[in-house]
Amino acid sequence: MTIDVERARRETPGCDHVTHLNNAGSALPPQPVLDAVVGHLELEALTGGYEAHEQNEAAIERFYGAAAELLGARPEEIAFSSSATRAWDMAFYAFPFESGDRILTAVAEYISNYIAYLQIAERTGVEVVAVPNDEHGQVSVDALRELVDERVKLIAITHVPTNGGLVNPAAEIGAVAREAGIPYLLDACQSVGQLPVDVAEIGCDVLSVTGRKYLRGPRGTGLLYVSSTLLERLEPPFLDMRAADWVEPDRYELRPDALRFEEWEQSYATKIGLATAIDYALGWGVDAIWERVVALGDNLRARLGEVEGVTVRDLGAVRCGIVTFTLDGVEASELKDRLARERINVTVSPPSSTLLDSTARSLPELVRASVHYYNTDEEIDRLVDHVSFTNAA
């Protein structure tokens, strides 16, 4: 399959208003997602929230089948969440760590995840170890294998870091985890939606996803995959009547499926929106999306590399649609603001977002531009032209 870019742009209202190169922040939703969310909210307003749920139950429940199809999982291994962070936290804090245990993670690990590691380390005495990078700047699989021993209780990796185009070798990491029998938690917040992610091929036991980025779903949505082989070993850090049944005055029973990681009250309008966004992505074909995103990302890196004073900061043997760079003499935040005045959306990646990697590479604030399949080469030219103009000025 190939992407019909004209159709994709017709179905994306925001394309008429902005050059949106901040898809790793929050992508422009397509019209079907907008219609699904607004339609359910209108139904709630006209009939009542509970009644709207009953009337639209098939659309709400479609979320589980759509997410399972996207990830190569089963519907009962999927949970809805208010964000990728909440999904990740619900799984991570369910692991029963003890003093002397080790967590293996990446040098380019994301701030929210690393703060959680540090909190658990303070509480339990767990040791957090960042696996060294290889010559490409990605997680070294050889180094990971050498670090694996009986003390390691979790391998937790960010698939695509926030501060560049690097794609960590998730499947190779999964092979090490499976061979050692160690649970493997993958933060796929910035990978799902732009590249194919199959949990069986990767070998991860837990995976977290956001709705707002490359899936083009609503903000305030996320999902969690937990393998059925691991479910019974994990009790979430908090429970309610969605996650468990109150069976006797002094006893509860956890749900046998991934719904044990959910909470009863949810945003059903945005849940339908996320299901619609997943189906929309599946309609294009994730392989076709990935092919176009890679081409656009490579083009953007090449064009920026031609601009005097620009340094592209991306690492990795495989690179995705996220492109980070600096411009000599111009702060990243200043360049972002200048581009915003021209209706070109990018964002800034601060050193604190990946502190270990930023410190090791002495990185300043980075401009982060992230492409999606509805972007065009003309939009890339527009960004590069304005960066060149800023440099000349």
Strand 206-210 relative to strand 222-226, pairing: antiparallel
pLDDT surpassing 90 at residue 393: no
Mean residue pLDDT of the chain comes to 97
Q: What's the mean pLDDT in 277-306?
A: 98
Q: What's the mean pLDDT in 27-55?
A: 98
pLDDT digits (tens, 9 = 90+) for 62-109: 999 999 999 999 999 999 999 999 999 999 999 999 999 999 999 999
Residue 235 CA to residue 23 CA, distance in Å, equals 34
pLDDT digits (tens, 9 = 90+) for 165-197: 999 999 999 999 999 999 999 999 999 999 999
Q: What's the mean pLDDT in 300-304?
A: 97
Instruction: Give the dihedral sign, CA 240/81/285/205.
Output: negative
Q: Which residues of 224-246 are buried (b: 16+ CB within 10 A; e: fewer)?
A: bbbbeebbeebbbeeeeebbbee
Q: What's the mean pLDDT in 131-149?
A: 98
CB 138 within 8 A of CB 316: yes
Q: What is the CATH number of domain 32-283?
A: 3.40.640.10
Q: Which pair of structure tokens corresponds to residue 309?
A: 């004073």
Q: What's the mean pLDDT in 307-328?
A: 97
pLDDT digits (tens, 9 = 90+) for 252-290: 999 999 999 999 999 999 999 999 999 999 999 999 999
The domain limits of the chain are 5-29+285-392, 32-283
Q: Do domains 5-29+285-392 and 32-283 have the same CATH topology?
A: no
Bridge partners of 311, per DSSP, are 326
Chain centre to alpha carbon of residue 133: 21
Share above pLDDT 90 across residues of the chain, in percent, rounded to a whole number: 98
Task: Give residue 389's pLDDT.
Answer: 82
- The pTM assigned to this predicted structure is 0.96
pLDDT tier at 232, thresholds 50, 70, 90? very high
Virtual torsion, Cα 183, 189, 192, 196, nearest 10 deg:
-50
- Give the DSSP per-residue string, 139-176: B-HHHHHHH-STTEEEEEEESS-TTSSB---HHHHHHH
Share above pLDDT 70 across residues of the chain, in percent, rounded to a whole number: 99
- Give the DSSP per-residue string, 83-118: -HHHHHHHHHTTS---TT-EEEEETT--HHHHHHHH
Residue 157 CA to residue 173 CA, distance in Å, equals 9
372: CB partners within 8 A, 6+ apart:
20, 23, 27, 28, 194, 214, 216, 289, 293, 296, 321
- Please state at what angle helix 377-392 crosses helix 332-341, rounded to 10 degrees: 120
Bridge partners of 245, per DSSP, are 253
Bridge partners of 128, per DSSP, are 103
Task: Give residue 156's pLDDT.
Answer: 98
CB 59 within 8 A of CB 43: no
Domain 5-29+285-392: which topology?
Answer: Aspartate Aminotransferase, domain 1 (3.90.1150)
